[in-house]
Amino acid sequence: MWLGNAKDLIDSKIVTSISEAVCTRDDIMVYLIKKGLPPNTAFKIMELVRKGKALKDPEKWAEYEAMMREHDVPEWYIDSCRKIKYMFPKAHAAAYVMMAFRIAWFKVHIPKAYYAAYFSIRAKAFDAEFMIFGKEKVKEKMKEIDMMGNQAAPKDKDMYDDLEIVLEMYERNIKFLLLIYINLMPLDF
């Protein structure tokens, strides 16, 4: 939806702002109604586009393209809709943005809580052997994985992602506290 679509339209100045581009499924229906298409038709077009079925049902899409052209919908808009594989509703997109702000707030203001939550919940390949002994050990392992190139296994790629977060944490002068506690779960931070 962004790369190869809205981004290109903005970069080439066909669209002057993100608010003109097709960003959510709601945008399609509202825009088409403003262009004069009947609400029921605008809804059907939106449904076809949001599910990525414009290319899967060429006859129906051709019919909708003709209707949009009759209502002076620009070619770039029609083409943009054709390229879409899936679209969130606006409320879903807004919820993701709100969650991103919450996560960012914790990362900035309570970083220890952020990293503890990240490594407890999101880390896919945490390995204390490479991660709890400082920046240099982390950088060594990252370089080792880099050297594997395309031969790196999915687990190595996951570990690399986790190592990036560990390195960021060390750069912020936050370290792992070495504890030995019998009842501690292996991935609780």
95: Cα within 13 Å, side-chain hemisphere: 5
Contact 126, 119 (CB under 8 A): yes
What local confidence, expressed as pLDDT, does residue 182 receive? Answer: 47
Residue from 163, 169, 171, 166 nearest 144 by CA: 163
* pLDDT attached to residue 91: 87
Contact 2, 24 (CB under 8 A): no
> What phi and psi values does residue 22 have, to the nearest 5 degrees?
-80, 110
Would residue 53 be called left, alpha or beta, if left means φ above 0 and alpha means ψ between -120 and 50 degrees? alpha
Mean pLDDT of 26-45: 94
The predicted pLDDT at position 181 comes to 47
In the predicted structure, residue 14 carries a pLDDT above the cut 60: yes
Answer yes or no: is pLDDT of 59 > 80: yes
User: What is the per-residue pLDDT across 65-106, written as a single tens digit (0 to 9) for each?
Assistant: 999 999 999 998 898 888 888 877 888 888 999 999 999 999
Distances (CA, A) of 81 to 32, 50, 64, 118, 127: 12, 8, 11, 36, 44
| CA 35 – CA 13 distance, rounded (Å) | 21
pLDDT tens per residue, range 95-145:
999 999 999 999 999 999 999 999 888 888 888 888 888 899 999 999 999
Q: Could you tell me the residue ranges of all domains in the chain?
A: 2-90, 110-171
Q: Could you please state the CATH topology (level 3) that the domain comprising 110-171 is classified under.
A: DNA polymerase; domain 1 (1.10.150)
d(CA 14, CA 148): 42
Evaluate whether 47 touches 41 at the Cβ level (below 8 Å): no
How large a percentage of the chain has pLDDT more than 90?
Answer: 53
